[in-house]
Structure formats: C-alpha cells, structure tokens
Structure 1
C-alpha cells in the first residue's frame, strides 16, 4: 500500500512538472540541494541563539567518528550538532551516529535550507532528540558499496575472474551493511519501515549526479518514520 502511494505521488509530481525549484527527476527534492562542500566534514563549535552548537559541514569520511568524538569531548557545552552533508562513508556515518547517541540529551538538527543526504542520515539519527526544520532536507537513497566504481573499473581491466570475485565481495559487504543499517535504526528508535518503504526502494550507484535515486521526506513523513520524533528519541 505504501509503495503504491509513493509511486502515485511521484508520478503526479512528474506530470505536473514539480514545484518551482524542485528536481523533475527526483520530484520530492530540490533541484539544487545545499549539501555543503565536497571536502571532509569540518566540525566547528560556535554559539547560535544562546546555545553552543557543533556545525558539521562536509563529506562523511573514515576519520569522522574519531574527530567527532574528540570535538564533543573537548567542549562539554555543546548541546546540538547541526548537519549539512552530501554523505560519504556509510560505515563511518553509522559510527558517528552512535557516538552522538552516547551523549544523553544531544540534539541533532538540519537547519532550514540545509540538506543531509546519504550517510549523513545516520549521523543525524544518532541524536537523542532530532529536528528537521521546515525547509531543511532529509534526503535518502539506498546505501550500497557499488559506488566504488573506480575499483570495479580496475577489476574489469584485469579480466572477468577478478571482476566476478570483486562484485561478489561487494554484494556481501552490501548485505552486511544493510543488516547494520537495520540494527542501527532499531537502536536509534527509527521505524525500520524507513528502510523497507523508502531507502531500499531507491536505486543507488553513488555520486552526486544520480538521477531518479533520491527521496526527500516531508515533515509528516519525518514524523511518521520517527526520524523526527514527537518525543525524546532515545
């Protein structure tokens, strides 16, 4: 039922040409998302609106969990983590989310106009309380290791045996990550329906130029899947 509703919604938006400024190929999402720089995520403590916040801006890389732990440990006044990112390393995103959850009461926030995509979703989900501001974008796609296109291309040049072995390894890693995602969502209080009904319904091959592979949750959907809980997340 949910899949049929989703398909109908997307078809209607495409036929209508989408709202002004929306992506006609990914009609629930803005045409030009503000998901920050393509450099490793910077972590900047600052004061905003009388609160001490950590601005997390950029790509999720393998070093993020250690750097995030150090940043939060170094400033006990930090109350919130504000996120803007096009994603990156999926396992690092899970690990960073768990670090945030280890701080009771820590808030994660996607400010209006900012986009949190891909592995950034899992960093955000680590918040004990979570807020997607009106105009903030929680953008998802399926998580996969097949974005390692450069590695696959190299194996293709080496011959079919090497390629078959590599793709088999990638499939195993993808299955493992899917299991980790499911466990993570349960631990963070997110409905696992977010995976089955939304995330794993979007095809993904990695990279910021994907077409027809993104889905941006509405405010109602963010609440429906407990991405933005009405009460305390943890």
Structure 2
C-alpha cells in the first residue's frame, strides 16, 4: 500500500460535496432523513484510478452472492489502495464473510466517503479493512439485527396456530443467538471493541416500539467511531 498521507489527498479530491446541513430523520434523529446509500439491488464493484491511486467502489445491497463478485474484483486488482462503500445492508452473514475476505486478501483502506452511508451488513464489510476511515459527512449506521422483519413468515405461522408460531419463535431465537456469537467473533478478529455491540448495536430496537423512543437506526458520530475502533485511520 502507498503512504497514507498521499493517499488521502487523492481520495479527498473525489469526495462528494455537501451543501448545508442535511435534514434529520425525525424517527431516527441521529441520522439524516435520506442516507446516501446506493439503491443498486445488488452491490456492484467499480474500479477506477485517481491521482495514481487504485480504488474500488462497492455500491448497493449486500446479497448472498456478494462474496464471489468481491473476490473476483480483488483478484483482478491485487495492488488496490482503497475500497469505498455505499450500501443499505442486506445479508448479515454475507457481510461478515465479505469483511473477512477483505481482511485476509489485501492490506487496503476501507472508506465511507462524505455523503455516503454504510448500514447494517455493510458495517461488517467495512470493518474488514485493516485501516478504516470515515470522512466527515460519511455515515456508519447500525441497527439491532433481527429476523422478525419477515412479516409474511410470521403471519403465516400465526395463521397455522400456536405450535407453528412457537416453532418459528424458537428458530428466530436460535438464529439470533448464533448471529450474536458470530458478530462477537468477528469483532474480536477485527480488533474492534465489543462494546460497540453492547453499548450501541444491541440497544437499538429491532422494530419500532410503542415508547417515546421509536428509533431503529443509530448513526455513529466520528468520536464514537474512534472510541469503538470502527475508525482507526485519519488522513489530512
């Protein structure tokens, strides 16, 4: 990898300009109303060079087949400098696997540029970078993981009666416990503070509650990103 100081100059020249302060989400007040994540139905990887630096943009939803596409992109560009991410999340386990692939394959910087947002499964993909940076105006957005968002499955089990509903609840509990264990293992491997899970991620609601705080998303401040080790590199 090339020196960080030089790298930051090249990357900064391509950051999105933000005009004024973006409107806040009244339901999720720590976050902008319209986060800057890509609306691509599946994450696309685009290679480009700027100022001599080699960069891949990962933009879109993280689906179960993201890892083979990422692996092909990394193999094609073994001297990559940075990976930029913009994603509304997606498959949690695929995000973890993509993060591990980034960590095991290349010594690159993962970056959330100004005006971009990395949510949910994208968090773990981002944390795969040995060096991680979030530009002012970039958003690292977390939530409490859940399987209960699959309303059709829930409605069907309820219609089938108590036994079916009890079985589904058991499956959800088991899967949630397994995913929590995988998240903890990932955090340890990536040298991040597990307090990010206990202090922030696990305290977010899985669905909008009936209390005064109905937020389901939490945007980390840059100070929080530093505190929990999410961001471990800064460039001038």
Q: TM-score, normalised by structure 1?
A: 0.84
Tell me the SS of whatever aligns to 1:102: helix
Tell me the SS of whatever aligns to 1:67: helix
Per-residue deviation at 1:155? 2.0
Which residue does the alignment assign to 2:216? Answer: 213
RMSD across aligned positions (CA): 1.7
Which residue does the alignment assign to 2:69? Answer: 67
Which residue does the alignment assign to 1:10? Answer: none
**1:110-149 aligned within 5 A:** 110-149=112-151
Tell me the SS of whatever aligns to 1:88: coil
Per-residue deviation at 1:81? 1.0
Q: What CA deviation, in whole Å up to 9, does each residue of 1:171-201 have, x standing for no partner? A: 1001100010011011101100000000000
Q: What CA deviation, in whole Å up to 9, does each residue of 1:114-151 have, x standing for no partner? A: 00000100000000100101100000011122222222
Q: What CA deviation, in whole Å up to 9, does each residue of 1:67-90 have, x standing for no partner? A: 111210122232211100010100
Confirm or deny: 8 A CA contact 2:133 2:233 kept in the other structure: no
**1:1-234 aligned within 5 A:** 21-205=23-207, 212-230=215-233
Q: Is the alpha carbon distance of 1:161 and 1:112 closer, same or farther for their aligned partners in structure 2, counting shifts above 3 Å?
A: same
Q: Is the alpha carbon distance of 1:97 and 1:23 closer, same or farther for their aligned partners in structure 2, counting shifts above 3 Å?
A: same
Per-residue deviation at 1:65? 1.3
Confirm or deny: 8 A CA contact 1:142 1:201 kept in the other structure: yes
Q: Is the alpha carbon distance of 1:165 and 1:39 closer, same or farther for their aligned partners in structure 2, counting shifts above 3 Å?
A: same
State the aligned residue count.
209
Tell me, in whole angstroms, the C-alpha distance in 1 between the residues paired with 2:184 and 2:48.
33
Confirm or deny: 8 A CA contact 2:81 2:109 kept in the other structure: yes
Tell me, in whole angstroms, the C-alpha distance in 1 between the residues paired with 2:128 and 2:87.
15
Q: Is there any run of 5+ residues in structure 1 with no aligned partner, and where? A: 1-18
Q: TM-score, normalised by structure 2?
A: 0.84
Tell me, in whole angstroms, the C-alpha distance in 2 between the residues paired with 1:103 and 1:77.
11
Confirm or deny: 8 A CA contact 1:45 1:78 kept in the other structure: no
- Deviating above 3 A after TM superposition, structure 1's stretches of 4 or more consecutive aligned residues are none
